[in-house]
A and B are shown apart, each in its own frame.
Chain A
Amino acid sequence: MKIFDCVVIGGGVVGAAIFNKIVRLGKSCVLLDKASDVATGASKANSGIVHAGYDPKPGTLKAKLNVRGAKLFPQICKRLGVKLNCCGALVVGDDKEKILELYNRGLQNKVKVEIWDKKKLHEKVPKLNANLNVALWAEDSKTVSPYLFTIGLVEEGMINGGKVLLEADISAISKDGDVFKIETQRGMIYSKSVVNSAGAGYNQIARLLGSETKKIQLRRGEYFVFDKNTLDVPCTIFPLPTDLGKGVLLTPTVDGNFLVGPTSAPSDDVTAVTKTGLDEIRQKAHLLMPDIDFRNTIRQFSGIRTICGDDFVIEKSRKVPGVVNLAGICSPGLSSAPAIAEMVINLLGYSTKEKDNLKKIQPYVMFKNMSKRQQKEILKTDPSFGQIVCKCEKITKGDILAVLKRPLKIKSVDAIKRRTNAGMGRCQGGFCFTKVVKAIAQERKIEYKNVLKENRGSFVAVGDIREEE
């Protein structure tokens, strides 16, 4: 019976960062997620911004971890081969006092901030609403693919000895002396400590653990995704923040698309897009940039934030020794994730020294981004890199098959989409959907109709036509 040092429950960006860090210390660790891939909850559906850290109230965990996390981001991304878009961010408004307030917060949080006048602002963003005349510029704000970052952390953990169990719903947790016994759909796991980073599922896990439940509020954030080259948005553009959050923003993704959103409305755990939400975004986005043409949108999505009071909750459980609780990791959760991991290993009582000879992860490089020479080489041995699957994003069959051979054994069309962008372009899978399904069926040796779109139950077809009798 193997007893792990730690079990991390929840494969979002926070769980992934903690798992990665624990493995890098040389501890044995298992990451559990009920979904068929990591980063399928809040971590796949957010603004994808690494905030500079001027916004959170000084002295809070949010402020401390955001600033520290943002500092760690570039080196981790470099290590993982994950792209960062160092585009900077502007908070724009017509109220100099409020901008000044944010500026002072920025200074208190030790973040590089500048105040820009109307001229400088409109030079940077010519299409901006003319009545916006003052701005806060934070050059260290960046954008990242939140799921590629999560996947990178998880896979780097795996090649260095960490274990990941997907579709591992937990049915019971008990404790025998100092050892937790976790019954999952993928088998029994024994562990000395447990990290509850289950996000929206925090209370469900807390109940199984017998640890503290929290008052958690779920808020839905809806977004529009815009096609490439359809907005003149050179950096992230925020309105002045309100009590409800950072407001409807415009941001360029690492892939050259744009996100416009989010809303913030109380919700249940259903990631639905609503007419009210979309209308609200249209109206608010036009206040920032009047000529945004919403016909250029190619997708809308929604994500769920979990909110637990004003600050992050990151603590040792008082009720159950050996458990670390993480609740209410909403924005700036992505930016803070690397720093949260540091804090959690501290709470677990681990030394901060990383083990020697850590293995380097092979970054995701699609054929189109390889050098001419690499392209030539790879085509000699593997002609599947010469077969187009996704025309919008120029992804080849070789790219898809390579992803299926990665350490994390994914099997869904959406998992392929997150890793390669196949299906993310303007035709939204019209050309590639069935080609991706066939590649998954071929590589995983499963039937076409049993390939999943995302999670269990989302099979792509209900059967064969004219099934043989």
Chain B
Amino acid sequence: MKTQVVVIGGGPAGMCAALSASKTGAKVVLVERDEVLGGILNQCIHNGFGLHYFHEELTGPEFAHRFRIMVEADKNIKVLTNTLVTKIEDKKVQIMGKNGFEEIEAQAVVLAMGCRERTAGNISLCGTRPMGIVTAGVAQKMVNIDGKMIGKDIVILGSGDIGLIMARRLTLEGAKVHAVFEINSTSSGLRRNIMQCLEDFDIPLFFNTTIFEVVGKDRVEGVYYGQVDKNFQPIESTRKFLKCDTVVLSVGLIPEMYIAPDTITCKTTGGAIVNEFYQTDKPWLFCCGNILHVHDLVDNVALEAEQAGKFASLYALGKLPTQSKSLPVVAGEGVSYVLPYSVFEGQGKVEFKLRLKTKVVRKNLVAKCGANILGKKFVLAGVPGEMLKFEIEKNGASDKIVVEIE
């Protein structure tokens, strides 16, 4: 099979990248491993999606549906569902699907595979391995897609957004959510989710607290939990027991880069290093969405993917302008990462996406090139759990750009 752009992953990032690549003029193949397009949005039946992109509040499946009908109507996009990409090698994409193993040859490839959840194994959770230790995403799939109750007495480890959403969801379905434990001193979830999913339902959130050990032979029978010191080591004197039948893990997401060819990745995000065009160190390989960095709002994923799709399409068509000098962009004081990791020297605006290291109140975010201030933005209240956007004029920059809290 031959095409101009292959987009891997049929979630919001993949669909938006495919639509944008097609609009820019390329023939596109969109590959999705599941039976339907939509990705994880299909199981996110709560609302709160689309406020920025569509200016209305949608559920996850509704948000996905709007793009799905556009993709299905687009004659330049060929959709392959139930198809897994098994290898990417020099613009050749090996797939496994209804015809077994096949190959697609393309001019450009967009990675939009999202992220996977950190598991009990990733955090070396101690104790036994009974049924009832599930990641928040699996719990969400079982409840919302399969209609099955995962347990009656729930403990949630980690305060990531899906964990918070599931605390509310499981409560509404009649389970008792006894506690949310967060090993850090702040939550990685959105503030609105802490209010709407925990506080409104009187579910306690314990900071600097984690599960020491899971107990149970066939099903979870309880957990020992307690506080941790500043090195995240358990403080044994605080050890307590809590009876429960389910432990839901919401302990972070990892960009799903494993199928990507040997690409340079960022230590902080786990995603690929990309330039202004969302282009990796391999010029034909582009990245967008959660595989690049974990977003908190799908609206931002859609916007980012549209950009990446456009540039991939231009590259495939041989229309991507050759660029001047590449200027590295680095995270300075108080900032954990900034995207893109480099911009091209020249005129015009560029939008940075970044996360803070810690909570910030009434401070300025600045972008500097040497002593030259390229842009400034006032941050009234910022938390690591919420991505910030920061647009600057790049005129005048001729060297490394540092983005930091003043």
Residues of A within 8 A of B (CB): 224-225, 270-275, 278, 294-295, 297-301, 367-368, 372, 375-376, 379, 383, 385-388, 391-392, 394, 426-431, 433-434, 438, 448-449, 452-466
**B216 vs chain A, min Cβ distance (A):** 9
Q: Are A458 and B219 in contact (CB under 8 A)?
A: yes
Q: Are B148 and A465 in contact (CB under 8 A)?
A: yes
Q: Are B130 and A462 in contact (CB under 8 A)?
A: no
Within 8 Å of chain A (Cβ to Cβ): is B182?
no
Please measure, in the bound complex, the distance between the C-alpha atom of A173 and the C-alpha atom of B117, giving whole angstroms. 49
A-B contacts, 12 listed (Cβ < 8 Å): A273-B124, A298-B122, A299-B119, A386-B99, A387-B98, A388-B97, A427-B119, A433-B134, A459-B131, A462-B245, A463-B149, A466-B173
Interface SS majority for chain A:
mixed
Specify which chain A residues have a CB less than 8 angstroms from the CB of B142 in the assembled complex: 434, 460-461
Within 8 Å of chain A (Cβ to Cβ): is B341?
no
Within 8 Å of chain A (Cβ to Cβ): is B33?
yes
Please measure, in the bound complex, the distance between the C-alpha atom of A457 and the C-alpha atom of B128, giving whole angstroms. 15
Specify which chain A residues have a CB less than 8 angstroms from the CB of B152 in the assembled complex: 462
Please measure, in the bound complex, the distance between the C-alpha atom of A376 and the C-alpha atom of B129, giving whole angstroms. 39
Specify which chain A residues have a CB less than 8 angstroms from the CB of B83 in the assembled complex: 388
Q: Are A456 and B100 in contact (CB under 8 A)?
A: no
Q: Are B96 and A394 in contact (CB under 8 A)?
A: yes
Which listed residue (B129, B149, B150, B218) contacts A271, Cβ 8 A?
A: B129
Specify which chain B residues have a CB less than 8 angstroms from the CB of A454 in the assembled complex: 131, 218
Q: For residue B101, which residue of chain A has the nearest CB?
A: A375
Specify which chain B residues have a CB less than 8 angstroms from the CB of A383 in the assembled complex: 98
Within 8 Å of chain A (Cβ to Cβ): is B147?
yes
Q: Are A461 and B119 in contact (CB under 8 A)?
A: no
**A304 vs chain B, min Cβ distance (A):** 12
Within 8 A of A (CB), among B100-147: 100-101, 116-117, 119-122, 124-131, 134-135, 137-138, 141-143, 145-147
Which listed residue (B99, B125, B128, B138) contacts A433, Cβ 8 A?
A: B138
Among A295, A429, A458, max chain B CB count under 10 A is at A458
Please measure, in the bound complex, the distance between the C-alpha atom of A455 and the C-alpha atom of B129, giving whole angstroms. 12
Contacts known (A270-B128, A386-B82); A461 close to B150, Cβ less than 8 A: yes
Q: Are A388 and B82 in contact (CB under 8 A)?
A: yes
Q: Are B131 and A430 in contact (CB under 8 A)?
A: no
Within 8 Å of chain A (Cβ to Cβ): is B62?
no
Specify which chain B residues have a CB less than 8 angstroms from the CB of A458 in the assembled complex: 130-131, 218-219
Q: For residue A388, which residue of chain B has the nearest CB?
A: B84
Specify which chain B residues have a CB less than 8 angstroms from the CB of A368 in the assembled complex: 96
Specify which chain B residues have a CB less than 8 angstroms from the CB of A379 in the assembled complex: 98-100
Specify which chain A residues have a CB less than 8 angstroms from the CB of B84 in the assembled complex: 388, 391, 394
Please measure, in the bound complex, the distance between the C-alpha atom of A212 and the C-alpha atom of B122, giving whole angstroms. 44
Please measure, in the bound complex, the distance between the C-alpha atom of A375 and the C-alpha atom of B102, giving whole angstroms. 12
Q: Are B148 and A388 in contact (CB under 8 A)?
A: no
Within 8 Å of chain A (Cβ to Cβ): is B385?
no
Please measure, in the bound complex, the distance between the C-alpha atom of A462 and the C-alpha atom of B131, giving whole angstroms. 11
Q: Are A465 and B143 in contact (CB under 8 A)?
A: yes
**B102 vs chain A, min Cβ distance (A):** 11
Q: Are A464 and B148 in contact (CB under 8 A)?
A: yes
Specify which chain B residues have a CB less than 8 angstroms from the CB of A225 in the assembled complex: 121
Contacts known (A368-B96, A428-B120, A429-B138); A453 close to B148, Cβ less than 8 A: no
**A202 vs chain B, min Cβ distance (A):** 20
Within 8 Å of chain A (Cβ to Cβ): is B230?
no
Q: For residue B220, which residue of chain A has the nearest CB?
A: A458
Specify which chain B residues have a CB less than 8 angstroms from the CB of A459 in the assembled complex: 131, 219
